[in-house]
Structure 1
């Protein structure tokens, strides 16, 4: 039995209800004594909807700009202080609207606190970075002050195991203590480095990291809560504004151990060099080791900002226990060989990037500790009761993450239909694909528009096969979760694709809206 889900009371609120609560909370702004406290409070308010998605529009426009309009109409001192802060902390559109509304209220002699004139008048004092020798993470520290007063530090943590995204941010007023602690940690820990960097370099690094966070959340909204810290949303607007206070003019600094882009030929040469090295001489199955090396190199190039030679305990664990089980179908021999090949790769790559022996040993320890869990975490499709030959037909490219959506697109792959042996048809082949879809829709042959309708099914099946756009499979899963039958889901996808026409961005957005439909049920 599936019952109705209990609604969060906030889901029944209108935007005006939310704005009224925020304006009530904004009264506290009248009591604070420093612009720093006010900016942090408003940043926390704006973070209430950061990273969320609303059906029918952009959340920053509907809620962010809506809050500005609501405050402008309220015309109270609390509303004015809120508008002054949003003019500095908001998006470009929010800031422009808030500034205009604040000026209008000030011309009407609405009272404002003395600190209001100092909002945003910060100057950078110094920028620093603390980084581990593996290249896993940078902690960027930028200090600011209001005309020499209220000195504070913005701290942003950049995670290179997550494509260089910003995963945490906070603010500290104990600047001297923070910097001294970072220096002491680097002095006693040979695996850490702490150094001062140019403000332009810090800005470029943090701008790239925050953009990487936005991109990651847009790709994986379901897992958004675990991608960033609990406090990141509260400091997001503040961090964005402080970054703009730093001087521009530098390209993003290359992450540690990065090199020129790896072409397909260069990847093959690196694999050959590894297999011929002393580090790989004890690998007993050269064929399996070669395929394992290809996966290791591809992961470093495609998922680690073009750094196949960078190794670390965290990177190796993420590769073994997260990426491989989700993305790659390994044959049994490759599953057996992978931990040994990865350990050999650590011994091969570590010295080439200058990783000290202590770091190499720690990384090897992490590989061996993860090996038992890798055996459990790696899900061979054969363990699902699927015929290996069937899996080969669905995954000719070895992309394990595609298994579910391809099986959804082509459920009839075994048995006999009339004189056709389904086991001989290849869903990756355009001609065989049409035959499979004709059999799947045999009960619709009497439709006058059958050929046109089948062409749309071919379009949807091709998109599901390729995962293009990824929002299509997300929408299909959501509709299935809501109780729709498979064929009904396909027809809904066709309806959306037909309505959007040749506009890929609009198609992706429409499908994303479907994927975000609130669930009315619970187990």
Structure 2
């Protein structure tokens, strides 16, 4: 979704009139009446401006328009066998055109080209030319990065990073990159201004009327690592994040990044394992902030909120802003939590209590807490309207949020060929392939005994203890089908890699990991079916490590880790209980008539 009504971006303070417009290249090579291509005229006009940045931004926008990262990934697949102009082919037009304007563009491509081969070709072509380029352009390879700063806000929605650049001719400019953490630490905007970084940061500081925003210097190496990672991650977002200047200035920014030293530290995601989450949960429910939200269902809703806070966005369960509230209520919960309306409707009240608690722990100013609580009040009516109305969830909602689906009803949305193909692929992964999907049934799993065939003698004792705990858990909390699935998975792990049970580890952790894996494969822990904390409590575990142990077991059993946006697919029917297979069959049948011919 595209968030609305959010805070003004931290650091998005630009002196009026100093932000150059990006250049949009013509689709065709238009010619003026005298026969000269319009492109050359545009280049000549940009060179006539004394400020280098106008020409550099024009060259950057030309390269950006040819960048395959801008293409819809679904369209990219369709066009893989068709002709599409590449940056290298576009460079050829200037290599084969011997005039000052073409040489000027080659000088820019020699620095901003998207790969070293293109840059080297441009340099070789220039070496054989004698055109009198402007001094700043002829010496572009002498550009240096002078300093980097970062502007951050205490609520952590995003950072503005500024990198200053100096040309040998005493020209200066600054590149400003806004990195959004709520969307996954990605570049959401970027632009360049013809100001030195000293002038730029001075102006930004003067306009910064916010005691919760801080500007500080960071190393050039850290700036490179953080911006590079955010560019790469942002390039995978669909629909693409676009503004009037981004990604038009991305080639310019990536050129500047190559001037910066390596070896920096990128953004470090907070680490919240099960033990830390359990401690946080205990502190909350032991605090006065939890008054009125302590029912079992409200406990479950807090688990869902913490799931969002830990696994999405910045990854910090104690960081809550109006933007984070909006994303959670208007997008994430309606799309991810499949449960009754009464259960899902608990979210706003639980969130209010937890926001007050989190801000108190972090020492956030009361006015910011009030803003965040106001956001809950503002979005609660929309949230309730969404969950009480027919709406998409799971894979369909993911495609709709990505802009691939634009109808309001399932029939129209399901008819979108991209969704149908994607959903069929997702279901095939879950059950073991297209043939298995077509032959799928919802017969209960056979109640089978544990198979000791192929299991090393020296681990029998430990495996037997794990088996006993898994059996007891399934008998007490689940059913025979889950018990059979856990037995199958445990045997696969023991046969696949005996060392898993030779290492020193707790029996209870291993048993919980087996049950967690089978539960995840069957979507057990979503929508209140069972809470992970209850499973952990059953096994007497008070610290984390279960999900990490489970990943080791999955690899030992020979499965490929296929984690979807909301699913954990192993592709083995022997591990899928009948209720999960029925869910998949229902979706399969709904899409059967919509599959493209």
Q: TM-score range by the shorter chain?
A: 0.5 to 0.7
Q: Distance between the aligned counterparts of 1:328 and 1:400, measured in 2?
A: 14
How far apart are residue 185 of structure 1 and its match?
4.1
Residues 309 and 316, structure 2, Cα contact 8 Å, conserved in 1: yes
Q: Distance between the aligned counterparts of 1:148 and 1:267, measured in 2?
A: 55
Counterpart for residue 472 of structure 2 = none
Q: Distance between the aligned counterparts of 1:239 and 1:57, measured in 2?
A: 27
How far apart are residue 137 of structure 1 and its match?
1.5
Counterpart for residue 96 of structure 2 = 73
Q: Deviations over 1:140-192 (max 9, x none)?
A: 12212113711221111111111111111111224455322322344x42121
SS at 1:149's partner residue?
Answer: coil
Residues 431 and 437, structure 2, Cα contact 8 Å, conserved in 1: no
Over 3 Å counting, the alpha-carbon distance change for 1:264 and 1:58 in structure 2 is farther
Q: Deviations over 1:200-226 (max 9, x none)?
A: 22222211221221122xxx2xx32xx
How far apart are residue 359 of structure 1 and its match?
1.7
Q: Deviations over 1:218-267 (max 9, x none)?
A: xx2xx32xx3323212211111111222222212043xxx53x2334543
Counterpart for residue 43 of structure 2 = 26
1:237-316, aligned counterparts within 5 Å?
Answer: 237-254=251-268, 259=270, 261-264=271-274, 266-283=276-293, 286-316=295-325
Residue 90 (structure 1) aligned to one of 100, 103, 113: 113
1:327-338, aligned counterparts within 5 Å?
Answer: 327-338=336-347
SS at 2:171's partner residue?
Answer: strand
Counterpart for residue 579 of structure 2 = none
TM-score (norm 2): 0.58
Over 3 Å counting, the alpha-carbon distance change for 1:347 and 1:174 in structure 2 is same
SS at 2:372's partner residue?
Answer: helix
SS at 1:249's partner residue?
Answer: coil
Q: Distance between the aligned counterparts of 2:278 and 2:83, measured in 1?
A: 45
Residues 328 and 401, structure 1, Cα contact 8 Å, conserved in 2: no
Residues 136 and 168, structure 2, Cα contact 8 Å, conserved in 1: no
Counterpart for residue 63 of structure 2 = 46
Counterpart for residue 128 of structure 2 = 107
1:56-71, aligned counterparts within 5 Å?
Answer: 56-57=79-80, 62-71=85-94
Residues 279 and 347, structure 1, Cα contact 8 Å, conserved in 2: yes
Counterpart for residue 200 of structure 1 = 221
Over 3 Å counting, the alpha-carbon distance change for 1:489 and 1:378 in structure 2 is closer
Q: Any gaps of 5 or more consecutive residues in structure 1? A: 1-9, 385-394, 412-426, 441-462, 469-484, 493-523
Counterpart for residue 449 of structure 1 = none
SS at 2:120's partner residue?
Answer: helix
Residue 329 (structure 2) aligned to one of 320, 330, 339: 320
Number of aligned positions between the proteins? 397
Counterpart for residue 418 of structure 1 = none
Residues 143 and 166, structure 2, Cα contact 8 Å, conserved in 1: yes
SS at 1:144's partner residue?
Answer: strand
1:120-131, aligned counterparts within 5 Å?
Answer: 120-131=141-152
TM-score (norm 1): 0.65
Residues 150 and 215, structure 2, Cα contact 8 Å, conserved in 1: yes
Counterpart for residue 358 of structure 2 = 349
1:165 equivalenced with 2:179 (yes/no): no
Counterpart for residue 576 of structure 2 = none
Residues 43 and 55, structure 2, Cα contact 8 Å, conserved in 1: no
Residue 132 (structure 1) aligned to one of 143, 150, 153: 153
Alpha carbon RMSD of aligned pairs, Å?
A: 4.1
Q: Deviations over 1:262-283 (max 9, x none)?
A: 3345434433443343211211
How far apart are residue 325 of structure 1 and its match?
2.1
Q: Any gaps of 5 or more consecutive residues in structure 2? A: 1-24, 31-36, 415-427, 442-563, 570-589
Q: Distance between the aligned counterparts of 2:200 and 2:221, measured in 1?
A: 21
Residues 130 and 192, structure 1, Cα contact 8 Å, conserved in 2: yes
